[in-house]
Structure 1
Amino acid sequence: MIRYVLRRLLQLIPVFFGATFLIYTLVWAVPGDPFSGKCGQTACPQAYIDLMTQKFHLNDNLIVQYFKYLGSLFTGDWGETFNGNSVGELIGNAYPITLRLALVAVLIEAVIGLTAGVLTGLRGKGFLDNLVLVSTTFLISLPVFVTAIVLQIVLGTELGIIDTSVSDNPGFGELIVPGIALGSLSMAYIARLTRTSIAENRHADYIRTAIAKGQPRSRVVGVHLLRNSVIPVLTFLGTDLGALMGGAIVTEGVFNINGLGGLIFRGIQNRESATVTGVVVLLVLVYLLMSLIVDLLYAVLDPRIRYD
């Protein structure tokens, strides 16, 4: 196990450098004047341009810029915006909110999606199966922002059950409805993925052997069938946490949530390259961490998987 973990950590190193270099290149190598609009309607004075050019190492070639940025990043310095705001502080204020929203979305999609997928996978064709298939097809066909707006109008404006916008530092309770909107698409995919996996594995040889040995149905389903069928779902959920954190821009905008989505949107809108780079690098780290955790959980769910 230790050798496997070390090997996986070593494999993550080139992925980290490759992904962050690509991100840095795409953000900082964008054509155009990086100081456009930074001084209002007038052109920025040359003294300001010289100061910012030196501060962000814009006179160096791209590779030198990248490694200087990494050097600062490894010491905990995420850089500054052109206005002098600390990117680390901006991310520190926004990250916990988006993380809570993403966790709520993952929990909702896992509970509802897995439940629907297991029930339909075990029962086979019938009313419930058709209902889940129609419902998931409907959710997949709807963009997330449409689901968010509909929930906001119906539950907030029409029924008054929720506030149309959340507070500056919302708790888990306030994020339930935005979490449903954010996780609706993934919930539909999880339900279908679980249904397909259950339906395929319930006719496998090891299931028939367990039944032939006289094991209780609860053990056959809970220990043998579910543990093997949930592996592809676990992979989806692990990577989906990072995807939800990066894809929460629209949902956060609809419910006025001050998270990473709004931060990266403003960074793109204002061409704050340091902010955009910092947020995306953080998302890369989340993806890599979740990928490692998912790999380690495989052996817990399926003893046939070995780390040799």
Structure 2
Amino acid sequence: MGRYIVRRLLQLVPVFIGTTFLIYWLVWSVPGDPFAGKCGDRPCPDNYIQVMTEKFNLDQPLYVQYFTYMQNLLQGDFGETFGGRSINDLIAAAYPNTIKLAFVALAVEALIGLTAGVLTGLRRNGFLDNLVLVSTLFLIALPTFVTGFFLQYLFGVQWGIIKPTVSNPPSFTELLIPGFVLGSVSMAYVARLARTSIAENRSADYVRTAIAKGLPMRRVVGVHLLRNSLIPVITYLGTDLGALMGGAIVTEGIFGINGIGREVYRAIVTKEGATVVSIVVILVLVYLVMNLLVDMLYALLDPRIRYE
């Protein structure tokens, strides 16, 4: 396992360099004036544009800009916005809120989705199975902003159970409803994926052998059936964490959460290329690390999988 981890970490290096360069190239190759609107309604003075162009190396070739950015990144410096604010401070203020929200959403979709998938996979074509299938289809078809506004009005305005907008920094209790909204679509996919995997593996030889040996059904499901059926679900959940962190723009906007989603939206609107690149680079790291962790979990769930 140790050699496999080292090999995978070495493989992540060219992947990280390639993806970050592509992101950098796409962001800074967008046509338009990056200083438009930075000086109000009037055009920016020529001396201001010259100073800012030299400060952000915009007069250099793109590959020179990229290597300068990566050199600073390896030293822990994400750079500055055009307004002079440190991107490190911006990320430090916003990222913890998004991480909390993403983990709450991941917990919601894992607990509710797995429970619904296991129950319906063991008892197919019953009332509960049909109810879960209809409910998950409804959640998949419903846009996230509709779910968010409805639950915000119902729990926050109509019933007064929660605050319509969360505090800063938010507590995990305040993030339960926003986390459910963010993870609702993924929760539906997890339920359907777990249902299909459980139903497929239930007729496998190793499950029938365990039942024939007289093992309790709880042990058959928990030890034998569930571990093998979790592999596709774990794969989905592992890659979904990065998607939740990057796709929280709508949820953060509805509930007033000061997170990365809102910051990257502002950066796109105001053409703050350095901010967009820095946030997306962190998301790339999350994807790469989660893929490695998922691959390591495979060997724990299925003893037939070996990496050495």
67-76 vs 204-213, which deviates more? 204-213
Q: What amino acid does structure 1 have at the position aligned with 2:63?
A: I
Q: What amino acid does structure 2 have at the position aligned with 1:224?
A: H
Q: Which whole-Å CA distance do the structure 1 matches of 2:134 and 2:162 have between them?
A: 27
Q: CA deviation at 1:214?
A: 2.2
Match of 1:118 in 2: 118
Q: Which whole-Å CA distance do the structure 2 matches of 1:188 and 1:228 have between them?
A: 20
Q: Does the residue aligned with 2:38 lie in a helix, a strand or coil?
A: coil
Match of 2:252 in 1: 252
Match of 1:152 in 2: 152
Match of 2:142 in 1: 142
Q: Write the mapping of 1:37-186 to structure 2, written as runs, cut at 5 A.
A: 37-186=37-186
Q: CA deviation at 1:14?
A: 1.3
Q: Which whole-Å CA distance do the structure 2 matches of 1:155 and 1:143 have between them?
A: 18
Q: Which whole-Å CA distance do the structure 2 matches of 1:33 and 1:15 have between them?
A: 31
Match of 2:243 in 1: 243
Q: CA deviation at 1:134?
A: 0.4
Q: Which whole-Å CA distance do the structure 2 matches of 1:192 and 1:272 have between them?
A: 40
Q: Which whole-Å CA distance do the structure 1 matches of 2:101 and 2:240 have between them?
A: 13
Match of 2:222 in 1: 222
Q: What amino acid does structure 2 have at the position aligned with 1:233?
A: V
Percent of aligned positions that are identical = 67
Supply the RMSD in Å over aligned alpha carbons: 0.8
Q: Which whole-Å CA distance do the structure 1 matches of 2:28 and 2:283 have between them?
A: 18
Q: Deviations over 1:226-246 (max 9, x none)?
A: 000011100111111110000
Q: CA deviation at 1:59?
A: 1.3
Under a length normalisation based on structure 2, what TM-score does the superposition of the two structures give? Answer: 0.99
Question: Unmatched 5+ residue regions in structure 2?
Answer: none
Q: CA deviation at 1:213?
A: 2.1
Q: What amino acid does structure 2 have at the position aligned with 1:302?
A: D
Q: Which whole-Å CA distance do the structure 1 matches of 2:142 and 2:304 have between them?
A: 39
Q: Which whole-Å CA distance do the structure 2 matches of 1:16 and 1:189 have between them?
A: 28
Q: Which whole-Å CA distance do the structure 2 matches of 1:276 and 1:105 have between them?
A: 23
Match of 1:293 in 2: 293
Q: What amino acid does structure 2 have at the position aligned with 1:189?
A: Y
Q: Which whole-Å CA distance do the structure 2 matches of 1:21 and 1:221 have between them?
A: 46
Q: What amino acid does structure 2 have at the position aligned with 1:258?
A: N
Q: CA deviation at 1:211?
A: 1.5
Count of residue pairs brought into register by the alignment = 308
Matched, 1:271 2:244: no
Q: Deviations over 1:10-36 (max 9, x none)?
A: 111111111111110111111111111
209-218 vs 102-111, which deviates more? 209-218
Q: What amino acid does structure 1 have at the position aligned with 2:210?
A: A
Q: CA deviation at 1:145?
A: 0.9
Matched, 1:188 2:203: no
Under a length normalisation based on structure 1, what TM-score does the superposition of the two structures give? Answer: 0.99
Q: CA deviation at 1:218?
A: 1.6
Q: CA deviation at 1:209?
A: 1.5
Q: What amino acid does structure 2 have at the position aligned with 1:130?
A: N
Q: What amino acid does structure 1 have at the position aligned with 2:306?
A: R
Question: Unmatched 5+ residue regions in structure 1?
Answer: none
